[in-house]
């Protein structure tokens, strides 16, 4: 009989997305072996989910749960997409805002409600999960409630007995912290849970910490990041707890949807290409993009892409330091993204200054992102920290060589070029230093202009590397079996 797994998360593609978490929750369930695993997903029913999906949702039932001393409505809707069942928790009081994350206390109440609603929904629809797979702090209370309330046979009989929980850290920076009195009032959890070995952290309550303490297993989105967060620089104040739970911690690298990200079939490209004909066909995407963006049309010009949130975490301060040298005459730079005003304005200024070789697209545009991945020769990703990162996986798939800093998933997925052994799928630098980054860009550029055969060899290896979800799903399956 198939094992029953429920993914609980605050976002998932294609319904609602703010970051990589949504890609994982929307794509990974499709990659499991359907004979052995019945994987379903439970999400909030936000008002801002597009109408084309809302119209397909069917009402299942409703009931009430107790939260913060009052009885609260829970509506349950469901729909099928790509062979996966998605459940949606409906409550207009909590989910009718214009954004899915708003501010501290309100979000804490909203996701305490969501955590309890998820658990109650399982018994209401009679889906006795073997594994509840929680994602990030928004679902951190699920393991806490499960072990402290729902396991109690006096409350719920034996329905919840033996359910196991896994929590995945997508980014340790976000933890769901607030003062303890408010948190106790909202969650209904007793004071005995707000101690330093449970939910208390630096005199505050902490949802993620609760999940990390009570979950049966912890995963994060690359094995390098799993090691990094054991130390203070990356540990965001929880490195001691991560070290204590190191025997129950696994890093499993994210994948990407190889159907959506396929240069041979991608409908958004001007010219499709594959590993057999990229040397002739890929460049047509470059000249088309140069024309579209008003850059000098020259198929031989070295073009660097940057698709990112424009923040310090993503290494924008390094770029700020040496952007004048990056934008030399033999380079074109194409930027897509939004973020801190100073970085948005930095790229706008350089577009104004070098309009023939810099294009600043301060927005998010999915079609343009596909075209940038296909058009560019190299892709710059100099992150300060990067739990997994998906952009480097997309650029590898499109034969656009990543230039990355060796951290987290970037270090795990991009093998640096070794000219003596003729190995590698991209370029990397170790120190968080602008001139180390610049040196690596110059080195890559030198290979591109002077050793085209070697460059094409790297592209071929990059395009052949497999970061589809199938590989990651096998590792999650092994973990579930172990539990």
What is the average pLDDT across 110-137?
A: 97
| Lowest-pLDDT range of 131-140, 253-262, 418-427 | 253-262
Which CATH number applies to 3-255+470-482? 3.40.50.2000
Single pTM value for the model: 0.91
Chain center to CA of 150: 30
Which CATH number applies to 278-465? 3.40.50.2000
| Predicted pLDDT at 126 | 96
In angstroms, the CA 136 to CA 212 distance is: 10
The pLDDT tens digits for 171-194 are: 999 999 999 999 999 999 999 999
What does DSSP say about strands 70-81 and 84-90: parallel, antiparallel, or unpaired?
Answer: antiparallel
DSSP for 87-147, written as a single string: EEEE-HHHH-SSSS---HHHHHHHHHHHHHHHHHHHHHTT---SEEEEESGGGTHHHHHII
Helices and strands, number each (H, E), in the chain: 20, 18
- Domain boundaries, given as residue ranges, for the chain: 3-255+470-482, 278-465
In angstroms, the CA 416 to CA 315 distance is: 19
What is the average pLDDT across 371-398?
A: 97
Beta strands in 154-280 (DSSP E): 164-169, 177-178, 200-201, 204-206, 217-220, 249-251
Which of 380, 372, 376 is closest to 310 using CA atoms?
380
| Predicted pLDDT at 155 | 82
pLDDT at 475 over 90: yes
Q: Which H helix or E strand runs over 64?
A: strand 58-67
DSSP state, residue 308: S
Q: At what angle do helices 104-124 and 180-187 cross, to 10 degrees?
A: 30
Which of 203, 17, 220 is closest to 136 using CA atoms?
220
| Predicted pLDDT at 11 | 96
Sorting pLDDT into bands at 50, 70 and 90, what band is 60?
very high
Average pLDDT, the chain: 96
Which neighbouring-strand residues pair with 401?
378
| Predicted pLDDT at 153 | 87
Sorting pLDDT into bands at 50, 70 and 90, what band is 406?
very high
Which of 5, 9, 81, 95 is closest to 49 using CA atoms?
95
pLDDT at 284 over 90: yes
| Predicted pLDDT at 157 | 86
Sorting pLDDT into bands at 50, 70 and 90, what band is 19?
confident
Cα distance from N-terminal residue to C-terminal residue, the chain: 16
- Residues contacting residue 17 through CB under 8 Å, at least 6 positions apart: 11, 23, 26
pLDDT at 103 over 90: no
Asked if the domains 3-255+470-482 and 278-465 are classified in one and the same CATH topology, the answer is yes
In angstroms, the CA 242 to CA 208 distance is: 12
In angstroms, the CA 93 to CA 153 distance is: 31
Work out the burial of residue 164: count CB atoms within 10 Å of its CB; fewer than 13 is exposed, 13-18 middle, 19 or more buried. middle
The pLDDT tens digits for 360-380 are: 999 988 899 999 999 999 999
In angstroms, the CA 260 to CA 394 distance is: 10
Q: Which H helix or E strand runs over 196?
A: none
């Amino acid at each position: 009989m198939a094992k029953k797994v429920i993914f609980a998360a605050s976002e998932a593609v294609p319904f609602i997305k703010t970051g990589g978490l949504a890609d994982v929750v929307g794509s990974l369930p499709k990659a499991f072996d359907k004979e052995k695993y019945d994987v379903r997903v439970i999400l909030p029913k936000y008002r801002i989910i597009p109408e084309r999906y809302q119209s397909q949702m069917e009402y299942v039932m409703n009931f009430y749960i107790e939260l913060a001393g009052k009885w609260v409505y829970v509506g349950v809707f469901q729909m099928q997409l790509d062979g996966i069942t998605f459940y949606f928790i409906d409550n207009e009081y909590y989910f009718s805002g214009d954004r899915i994350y708003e501010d501290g206390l309100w979000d804490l109440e909203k996701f305490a409600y969501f955590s309890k609603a998820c658990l109650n929904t399982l018994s209401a629809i009679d889906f006795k999960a073997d594994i509840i797979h929680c994602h990030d702090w928004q679902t951190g209370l699920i393991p806490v409630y499960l072990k402290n309330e729902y396991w109690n046979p006096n409350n719920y009989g034996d329905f919840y007995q033996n359910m196991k929980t896994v929590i995945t850290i997508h980014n340790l920076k976000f933890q769901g912290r607030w003062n303890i009195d408010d948190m106790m009032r909202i969650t209904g959890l007793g004071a005995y849970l707000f101690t330093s070995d449970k939910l208390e952290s630096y005199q505050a309550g902490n949802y993620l910490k609760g999940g990390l303490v009570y979950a049966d297993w912890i995963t994060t989105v690359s094995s390098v990041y799993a090691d990094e967060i054991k130390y203070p620089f990356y540990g965001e104040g929880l490195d001691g707890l991560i070290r204590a739970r190191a025997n129950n911690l696994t890093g499993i690298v994210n994948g990407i949807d190889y159907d959506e990200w396929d240069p041979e079939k991608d409908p958004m490209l001007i010219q499709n290409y594959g590993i057999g004909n990229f040397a002739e066909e890929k460049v047509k995407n470059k000249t088309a993009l140069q024309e579209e963006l008003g850059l000098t049309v020259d198929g031989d010009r070295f073009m660097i892409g940057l698709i990112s949130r424009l923040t310090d975490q993503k290494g924008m301060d390094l770029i700020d330091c040496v952007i004048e040298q990056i934008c030399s005459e033999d380079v074109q730079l194409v930027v897509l993204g939004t973020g801190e005003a100073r970085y948005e304005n930095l790229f706008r200024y350089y577009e104004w200054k070098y309009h023939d070789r810099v294009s600043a697209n301060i927005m998010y545009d999915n079609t343009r992102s596909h075209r940038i991945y296909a058009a560019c020769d190299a892709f710059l990703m100099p992150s300060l920290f990067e739990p997994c990162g998906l952009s480097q996986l997309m650029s590898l798939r499109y034969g656009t060589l990543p230039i990355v800093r060796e951290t987290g998933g970037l270090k795990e997925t991009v093998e640096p070029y070794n000219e003596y052994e003729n190995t590698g799928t991209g370029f990397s630098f170790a120190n968080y230093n602008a001139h180390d980054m610049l040196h690596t860009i110059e080195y890559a550029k030198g290979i591109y202009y002077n050793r085209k055969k070697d460059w094409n060899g790297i592209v071929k290896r990059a395009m052949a590397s497999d970061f589809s979800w199938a590989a990651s799903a096998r590792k999650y399956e092994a973990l579930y079996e172990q539990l």
